[in-house]
Amino acid sequence: MRVLVQRSKNSKVIIDNKVYGEIDYGMVLLVCFTYNDNEKVIDYMIDKILNLRIFDDENGIMNKSLLDISGSILSISQFTLYADTTRGRRPSYVKALNGNEASVLYNIFNSKLKDKNIKLATGIFGAEMEVNIVNDGPITILLEKENLDERK
């Protein structure tokens, strides 16, 4: 599982020329799944995301988490995070989980975020979306977790 985290002043996702989801201060998460990802991996990533200290304290030091600032999340499915560009000029997406399975995991991911009482906005899995991100800092961090338990 890969999640690209961006600290955001405000962001929104537009689908069919309408604002579908919008947040104020918080994080934009671009989320991608690969083979063998499961709820254990999701739980690990949610804990990492919610406790990632990338927000400024009163001294301007990145010392606070999303939980500390009561921030919001805009979660967007993004299969291209598993693009492989090592050969040729056209990215390969074979490491990205197929749409049906990824959709299930993405819904679980978002449901678990809601269970943590996080203000959450999302896009629509597989939809053509326009995502407007006001990246604060800019702070952008790539998180990755493999399910090593099921590796062959």
Q: How far apart are the first and last CA of the chain?
A: 17
What contacts 117, CB < 8 A, 6 or more positions away?
Answer: none
Neighbours of 61 (CB within 10 A): 10
One-letter amino acid for residue 42 of the chain: I
* Lookup: tokens for 149: 């338990």
Residues catalogued as catalytic:
78-80
Spatial separation of the C-alpha atoms in residues 121 and 60, rounded to whole Å: 27
